[in-house]
Structure 1
Amino acid sequence: MNTNDFKIFEAVAAHGSFTKAAEATFTVQSNVTARIKSLEEEFQVSLFNRTSRRVELTAAGETLMHYCKQIGQLIEEAKRELSGTEQLIGHLKIGCIETTMALKVPELMKRFNQDYPDIELEFKSAMSPDLIQDVMNYKLDAAFITTPVTLPDLEQKLIKKEQLVIVCSDQYAGLNEIVNDHQLSIIVFEQGCVYRSRLESWLSYQGIINYKSTVVNSLEGIINFVEAGLAITILPLELIEQYYPNRKLKTFSIGKELGNATTLMIYRKSRKQDRVLKAFTEIY
């Protein structure tokens, strides 16, 4: 057993596949299989549940992952100690919903890179439920989500509160025209998006049940559809004001209950002492 075995183990957990783990670690699948078998024999436990579609951590695998993260942290600390520098070195995988990717990631990376130039950041965009699952499964170190969590293994930190608004083409004169549109269409992200659920709730409150839904997993695509007058959507007001002020769009407030939203950062409580992750979580 060596530290490379742990890297292969982490790769299998991250990718949910022996084949993809082999590609990520620049080796062959037979070697990945052999190294995982060696670890399982060493610890006398099964580390993964294997199915025809996915490879997932067992309870024992999750325990080992916890220690792998600590081992990785200790190795990096040893490198710093022996090199005589206090500069943090490492790599973090961060998840974001699409709007956070557009609004916050550029500014965040600029600030973080100034203070910690030797920490590499990798970002993934997905819906909040998928991001939560990925943090729980050690595939992400932290994630920005819009859904409060009650899972005991997760720490959550309030990042910001924001106002959600109905966004439509400037062809609409007001909300009444939207409500009375008998051919109303909405443009939304896929299921699991809090903005989509808020828009569907607003339509329900208005007594609107006959409307057409189109799913586009691209923020720019949604904006283009809306500006063309093909559909309405719901997005953070800050996003529209900051990035799309000159587009042919109108926004309408929808009240506090549906219009108030929060962005949260989540990470595993067991990772609190990870200095690299701690540096990231404290940037806000």
Structure 2
Amino acid sequence: MDLKQLSTFHRVMTHMSFTKAATELRYAQSSVTAQIKSLEATLGMELFERLGGKIRLTPVGERLVPYVERILALVDEARQSVTDETEPSGTLTIGAVESLISYRMPAILEFFYHRYPRLQLNLQSVTCGEAHDSLRRGVQDLGFLIEPENGRHGLETMVLGPVRLVAVVAPGHPLNRGSQVSMADLRRFPVLAPGIDCSYRALMESDLNANAETPVPLIEFGNIESVKQGLATGIGVSVLPEIAVASAVREAQLSVLDWEPSFEVFAQIVWRQDRKLSREMRLFIDVVTQTMGQDSESLVDTSSGAPGRTCHRGNQPQPGKRLTGSPGSPRPSA
């Protein structure tokens, strides 16, 4: 067995696809197939069962996986320990939900681009469920997600802080009257929602349908930006992350209603439980933690109860636990 064969086996196992492994490794598919056959010949046993157009691990292949992961992790650790490089480098693959990619990641990407140009951040838009699966299989290094604060089997979670959800409408909407709005009020109008991959959609639907005589239909838009465009026409209401509507509210394109959801969601960083955090992973976690902690605005003045007004909050919720040993104290420009 050689490292090239083991690395190729790990990529094929991760994707359960020779084609995807070849694309990632930049090999011809025939080369990937040849390496797997050579490894199987060395072991004298098959590692994959080929069933039509799909593959799956044999019992021998499943037993080999943890050993391959330990070998590759040790090789990576040895490489880092003997190199003279002091600057973080390589590639971090991060699965993130749409709202965080669109409204959080640009400032973080800018910071890494200027401060750590040798470290490439590979962003992949995912649902929370997809991220959980990808992290367990090693396809992604970290997940940057919004979901309720609960543990997931086989994953470690670092809670960064709550993500405020707000009910928004066009400025001329009948609900934009300056008084408190109930869930029953929201149900009287078309409810615009992002796609089914929205991390908090199930919770929102549960809130809407509680005590309702019939299920509340949702007008589904593909993503948050298209929901905002629909709202601007005055056709309905929606519940979106505060960070996603901040600029539209400041520009008077949308208004925030005096309404609070009955549930909470949190920004979280997630990784596989048995995975040792690399220097680069720790750096990303540290930078994101500081960026989240620098928020200082709310679209709702809770002291006066007036919706749609921007005010500064003196006491921000503090991010979750900090990891020890994370490099430096960089301050990203958010």
Asked if TM exceeds 0.5, the reply is yes
Counterpart CA distance in 2 for 1:128 and 1:47 is 30
- Asked if 1:266 corresponds to 2:270, the answer is yes
Give the match for residue 73 of structure 2. 70
Give the match for residue 60 of structure 1. 63
The CA deviation at 1:186 is 2.5
The CA deviation at 1:93 is 0.5
Amino acid at match of 2:34: A
Give the match for residue 242 of structure 2. 237
Gapped regions of structure 2 (runs ≥ 5): 176-180, 290-334
Structure 2 counterpart SS, 1:86: coil
Pair 248,232 (structure 1): closer, same or farther in 2 beyond 3 Å: same
Structure 2 counterpart SS, 1:166: strand
Amino acid at match of 1:179: R
Say what the alpha-carbon RMSD is for the aligned residues.
Answer: 2.9
Q: Deviations for 1:8-49, whole angstroms, at most 9, x for unmatched residues?
A: 334324443212322333333222122123334445666556
Give the match for residue 322 of structure 2. none
Give the match for residue 186 of structure 1. 192
Amino acid at match of 1:252: L
- Asked if 1:168 corresponds to 2:176, the answer is no
Pair 140,51 (structure 1): closer, same or farther in 2 beyond 3 Å: farther
Structure 2 counterpart SS, 1:4: helix
Counterpart CA distance in 2 for 1:39 and 1:251 is 60
**Mapping 1:47-196, distance limit 5 Å:** 47-48=47-48, 50-52=50-52, 54-55=54-55, 59-60=62-63, 62-64=65-67, 66-67=69-70, 69-71=72-74, 73-74=76-77, 76-77=79-80, 81-82=82-83, 84-147=84-147, 148-174=149-175, 175=181, 178-181=186-189, 184-191=190-197, 193-196=198-201
Q: Is the 8 A contact 1:169 1:227 kept in 2?
A: yes
Amino acid at match of 1:197: A
Q: Is the 8 A contact 1:13 1:139 kept in 2?
A: no
Counterpart CA distance in 2 for 1:4 and 1:273 is 23
Counterpart CA distance in 2 for 1:44 and 1:232 is 63
Question: If each structure's helix is expressed as a fraction of its own residues, which one has the higher value?
Answer: 1
Structure 2 counterpart SS, 1:270: coil
Greater alpha carbon shift after TM alignment, 225-234 vs 40-49: 40-49
Structure 1 counterpart SS, 2:274: helix
Q: 2:230 aligns with which of 225, 230, 241?
A: 225
Which stretches of structure 1, 4 residues or longer, exceed 6 Å deviation after superposition?
none
Number of residues of Structure 1 aligned to a counterpart in Structure 2: 277
Structure 1 counterpart SS, 2:164: strand
Q: Is the 8 A contact 2:9 2:36 kept in 1?
A: yes
Amino acid at match of 1:128: C
Q: Is the 8 A contact 1:186 1:211 kept in 2?
A: no
- Asked if 1:17 corresponds to 2:33, the answer is no
Counterpart CA distance in 2 for 1:170 and 1:61 is 60
Pair 158,177 (structure 1): closer, same or farther in 2 beyond 3 Å: closer
Give the match for residue 2 of structure 2. 2
Q: Is the 8 A contact 1:66 1:270 kept in 2?
A: no
Give the match for residue 31 of structure 1. 31
Pair 279,185 (structure 1): closer, same or farther in 2 beyond 3 Å: closer
Pair 164,248 (structure 1): closer, same or farther in 2 beyond 3 Å: same
The CA deviation at 1:118 is 1.4
Structure 2 counterpart SS, 1:194: coil
Q: TM-score, normalised by structure 2?
A: 0.71
Q: TM-score, normalised by structure 1?
A: 0.82
Structure 2 counterpart SS, 1:146: strand
Structure 1 counterpart SS, 2:129: helix
Pair 96,273 (structure 1): closer, same or farther in 2 beyond 3 Å: closer
Gapped regions of structure 1 (runs ≥ 5): none
Pair 169,162 (structure 1): closer, same or farther in 2 beyond 3 Å: same
Counterpart CA distance in 1 for 2:250 and 2:51 is 49
Amino acid at match of 2:73: Q
The CA deviation at 1:223 is 1.4
